[in-house]
Amino acid sequence: MKPSVKISAVCGLLLSTSAAYAQAPSPSAQAPSLENMAQLIAQGKYLAAAGDCSGCHTIESGQVYGGGRAFATPFGTLYSTNISSDKQHGIGKYSYQQFVDAVRNGVAPKGNLYPAMPYASYHRINDHDMQALYAYFMQTKPATQPNRENGIGFPFNIRMGLKVWNLVAFDKATFRPSADKSPLWNRGKYLVQGLGHCGECHTPRNFMMATEQDHALEGAVVNYLNAPNITAKHLTQTHWTFHDLAQFLKTGQSSKGTAFDDMYIVEKHSLTHLNDHDIAAITSYLLDQSQPSQHVELQPTLTSLAASQFDTTLPGYGTYMNKCSGCHGQSGQGIPNVAPALKDNATIGNSNIFNTVAVLNNGIKRQSYSQEQSYYAMPAYKDSLDNQQMADLITYLQKSFSTQMTTTTVKQVADIKKQLAND
Ligand code: HEC
Ligand code: HEC
Ligand code: HEC
């Protein structure tokens, strides 16, 4: 199909269904012109990045939007599905209403969706953005990858159980802007709570596995890593500036550290594709600061220039000099294109040492965003540092490079390593 033919086909689809969907006839039910349609598709593509659809629906070795990413659930392994425009394996046959039901309400033609698909957050996506997403998804390249059978050994139909979950745990909140805040702040709130679905990882869950809205963004453990507290209060206490946070979100690195693991996937597929205005909006909302949407200087700062005072009598000093300083610098100042600064690093500065132990234990695989932006891999020290050495090293890191002055115990390290070993 030629692109223009494809576009007009999507146009027709949107029209035939959007009229039925709208409660009352709205101006958006007017036939979009081809030019408007192309614009709508471009907006949809951007919004799909803001929603990180490909982060979950595309795997490294697979076709774009072909699905197949595994999610561990208490009932077994679940796989994301093919959401390309392919009519057999994907969602190419979905009407607008079916698309809306799946993305916003978690109800697909095959039944209720497992909440690994973040529809509780996507419920806040507005109508215009839903239409743009639909227009975009109906013309993506068809992926011929068949869906994987789920490895869920539930004694009865899991999708019926999910219907109950939807009734009791899904609060169906729509987006409500705050009247006393700036448009930029509210744009940030819309993105964080809706498409960005930040709370799916950063908000703790109750016994029903529903996110606890009273504790929004206060931090939670996901996939054996701590998604830290990113409330304005905590970010301010841990000295994140507007500039550092905007830079971390836009590039995945800053003088407060780099994004890794699940956060790296969010960065790579989603946040690094957002424009400066939206990055400023998210930053403004997270820090609860009203800043004008000025251009944020986003060239990655690879190192923090300030050298630190270090206590050479601490037992972790020798380990640091031997094993870490070659990449992270003798005073934790980092080395451009090699490794980030550890001085003022947010992971080390967190009073919860979970992620520091996880990183030292498991290392970080080589991560790259583009040809200009990449780091070495961070080695794993699971086998070369015992619990005592790791505890001493963390004490040294915190006392030298952060404002945490506590001493890490062997028991703390052992407990966290036990949790990591269960992964
Ligand atoms: C955090 C991971 C995650 C993200 C992000 C995500 N999805 Fe999903 N999605 C899933 C999983 C897992 C399923 C399958 C759930 C099931 O089978 O119960 C799914 C299912 C779907 C379905 C139902 C398909 C079918 O087979 O009927 C649609 C449509 C969909 N996603 C669209 C999207 C769109 C559009 C976005 C971006 C705005 C998106 N998803 C982002 C994980 C995700
Ligand atoms: C071969 C170089 C190398 C060595 C040696 C090394 N690291 Fe790293 N480290 C890295 C890189 C590169 C990253 C960032 C990886 C990324 O996010 O892509 C990193 C990340 C980290 C992080 C996570 C912080 C963040 O924001 O990304 C911590 C903590 C850390 N290193 C501590 C250490 C300690 C302690 C040692 C010594 C036991 C050490 N590293 C040895 C390269 C190294
Ligand atoms: C799939 C889970 C997941 C999602 C979704 C997610 N995060 Fe994260 N985030 C993490 C994890 C895990 C870490 C810890 C690793 C690191 O520091 O990179 C993290 C770290 C961070 C940090 C660094 C905080 C610190 O103190 O080190 C910030 C800031 C952040 N996320 C913001 C966001 C924002 C904003 C969104 C939504 C646009 C978001 N995250 C969505 C999992 C997630």
Of 261, 322, 327, the residue with max ligand 2 atoms within 8 A of its CB, to mutate for a pocket test, comes to 327
Coil, strand or helix: which one is 352? coil
Take atom 20 of ligand 2 and give the residue whose Cα is closest.
378
- Contacts of range 52-57, beta carbons closer than 8 Å, 24 or more positions apart: 52/196, 52/197, 52/265, 52/266, 52/269, 52/270, 53/83, 54/269, 55/265, 55/266, 55/268, 55/269, 55/270, 56/80, 56/116, 56/117, 57/81, 57/82, 57/83
Q: Is 87 in the pocket of ligand 1 (CB under 6 A)?
A: no
Q: Is 345 in the pocket of ligand 2 (CB under 6 A)?
A: yes
| CA neighbor of 82 nearest in space, from 113, 118, 56 | 56
Q: What pLDDT sits at residue 277?
A: 94
The model's confidence at residue 8, banded by pLDDT at 50, 70 and 90, is low
Q: Which two tokens stand for residue 356?
A: 């520091």
Coil, strand or helix: which one is 231? coil
The model's confidence at residue 145, banded by pLDDT at 50, 70 and 90, is very high
CA 36 – CA 128 distance, rounded (Å): 13
The model's confidence at residue 51, banded by pLDDT at 50, 70 and 90, is very high
DSSP state of 272: G
| CA neighbor of 49 nearest in space, from 258, 266, 283, 254 | 266
Q: Which atom in ligand 1 lies closest to the alpha carbon of residue 102?
A: 29
Question: What are the pocket residues of ligand 3 if the criterion is a CB atom closer than 6 Å to any ligand atom?
Answer: 192, 196-198, 200-202, 222, 225, 227-228, 230, 248-249, 259-263, 266, 271, 282, 286, 346-347, 350, 355
> What is the mean pLDDT of the segment spanning 171-199?
93
Q: What pLDDT sits at residue 223?
A: 81
What's the CATH fold of domain 316-421? Cytochrome Bc1 Complex; Chain D, domain 2 (1.10.760)
**String of DSSP letters for 14-46:** HHHHHHHHSSS--GGGSPPPHHHHHHHHHHHHH
Give the angle 227-228-233 at the CA atoms, nearest 5°. Answer: 145
The model's confidence at residue 156, banded by pLDDT at 50, 70 and 90, is very low
Q: What pLDDT sits at residue 149?
A: 79
Q: Is 143 in the pocket of ligand 1 (CB under 6 A)?
A: no
CA 74 – CA 163 distance, rounded (Å): 17
Q: What pLDDT sits at residue 421?
A: 85
Of residues 423 and 200, which shows the higher confidence score? 200
> In the predicted model, what is the mean pLDDT of the chain?
85
The binding site for heme c comprises 53, 56-57, 198, 201-202, 324, 327-328
Closest ligand to residue 266's CA: 3
Q: Which two tokens stand for residue 173?
A: 């909140």
Distance 81 CA to ligand 1 centre (A): 7
Closest ligand to residue 335's CA: 2
Distance 383 CA to ligand 3 centre (A): 28
Take atom 36 of ligand 3 and give the residue whose Cα is closest.
198
User: Look-up: residue for tokens 């380990």?
Assistant: 319
Q: List every span in the chain annotated with CATH 1.10.760.10.
A: 316-421
Of 378, 382, 400, the residue with max ligand 2 atoms within 8 A of its CB, to mutate for a pocket test, comes to 378
pTM, 2 dp:
0.89
Question: Domain 183-287 is of which CATH architecture?
Answer: Orthogonal Bundle (1.10)
Beta-carbon count within 10 A of 112 CB: 22
The model's confidence at residue 71, banded by pLDDT at 50, 70 and 90, is confident
> What is the mean pLDDT of the segment spanning 342-366?
94
Distance 108 CA to ligand 1 centre (A): 10
